[in-house]
């Protein structure tokens, strides 16, 4: 996709194959051509399955047990497909496994955890972040501005009807995450992220290959609606909770996540740099 926000800021040594191994998705397709981040469905699904559940068990919960209450078999199958596209639903995929770790720790964090995971996996949702970040709290999101950004980035790959659907779905997703408010007029709100949401934002940047102060400037960090200083303060709180390792010496910030990552994930991290 033209001008994917993640591709624009990737470290020089980043390897897309390794990033895909963590669960990041690139390209010109995304679930927002037909769905939102599906926060309510995700909440019900994760409450219906244990943290150790496999992809097969998630599929069974949606399709066979109909935990989401869909009326037809086809709608259940499509819902399962879209949730897999957005969240992987596979414990061997790092970003889903880590989201699942944080999920049960704090109810307030769930909207941002879902959004941040979806942003890592849906390139179409990512390109709608720019217009939102340009808005000051209290300002209304311009539908035309969002449409222009989508048309420019997608280079006319989607027809007008699909672009219109993406506009509605993306606006709904940003409303579910707390960045927008309102039913018809979508007005920018400032989110109030928890320590867990801050940790997950930094962790996604770390998996992407960012280091040091670069972790404070990723797409996820920007969507925390906090200053870099405040992010650093909350990261220090996360260190005290044992969620990350952090040090600052000679003006150099170091943040890592050895306690949260598996041996295989740590090897993959070091293999990409």
Are 235 and 248 contacting, i.e. CB atoms less than 8 angstroms apart? no
SS3 247: strand
pLDDT string in tens for the chain (273-residue length): 557 888 877 777 677 888 999 999 998 889 999 999 999 999 999 999 999 999 999 999 999 999 999 999 999 999 999 999 999 999 999 999 999 999 999 999 999 999 999 999 999 999 999 999 999 999 999 989 888 888 888 766 778 888 889 999 999 999 999 999 998 899 999 999 999 999 999 999 999 999 999 999 999 999 999 999 999 999 999 999 999 999 988 889 999 999 999 999 998 887 644
Specify the pLDDT at position 246. 96
Distance CA 200, CA 104 (A): 13
Are 37 and 18 contacting, i.e. CB atoms less than 8 angstroms apart? no
Residue 81: which residues within 8 A CB-CB, separation 6 or more?
A: none
SS3 248: strand
Distance CA 191, CA 177 (A): 8
For the chain, the structural domain boundaries read 195-271
Are 266 and 245 contacting, i.e. CB atoms less than 8 angstroms apart? no
Distance CA 110, CA 99 (A): 9
Specify the pLDDT at position 272. 47
Q: Which CATH class is domain 195-271?
A: mainly alpha
């Amino acid at each position: 996709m033209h001008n994917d926000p993640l591709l624009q800021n990737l470290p020089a040594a980043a390897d897309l194959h390794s990033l895909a191994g963590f669960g990041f998705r690139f390209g010109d397709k995304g679930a927002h051509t037909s769905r939102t981040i599906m926060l309510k469905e995700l909440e019900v699904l994760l409450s219906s399955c244990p943290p150790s559940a496999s992809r097969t068990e998630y599929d069974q919960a949606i399709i066979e047990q109909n935990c989401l209450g869909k009326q037809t078999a086809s709608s259940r199958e499509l819902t399962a497909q879209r949730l897999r596209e957005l969240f992987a639903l596979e414990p061997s995929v790092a970003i889903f496994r880590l989201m699942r770790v944080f999920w049960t720790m704090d109810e307030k964090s769930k909207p941002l955890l879902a959004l941040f995971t979806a942003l890592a996996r849906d390139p179409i949702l990512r390109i709608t972040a720019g217009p939102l970040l340009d808005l000051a709290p209290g300002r209304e999101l311009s539908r035309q501005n969002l449409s222009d950004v989508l048309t420019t980035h997608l280079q006319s790959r989607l027809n007008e009807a699909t672009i219109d659907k993406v506009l509605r779905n993306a606006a709904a997703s940003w409303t579910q995450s707390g960045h927008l408010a309102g039913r018809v007029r979508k007005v920018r709100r400032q989110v109030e992220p928890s320590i867990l949401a801050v940790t997950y934002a930094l962790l996604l940047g770390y998996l992407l290959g960012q280091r040091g102060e670069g972790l404070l400037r990723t797409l996820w960090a920007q969507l925390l609606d906090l200053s870099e200083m405040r992010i650093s303060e909350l990261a220090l709180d996360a260190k005290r909770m044992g969620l990350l390792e952090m040090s600052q010496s000679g003006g150099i910030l170091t943040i890592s996540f050895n306690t949260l990552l598996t041996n295989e994930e740590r090897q993959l991290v070091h293999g990409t740099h």
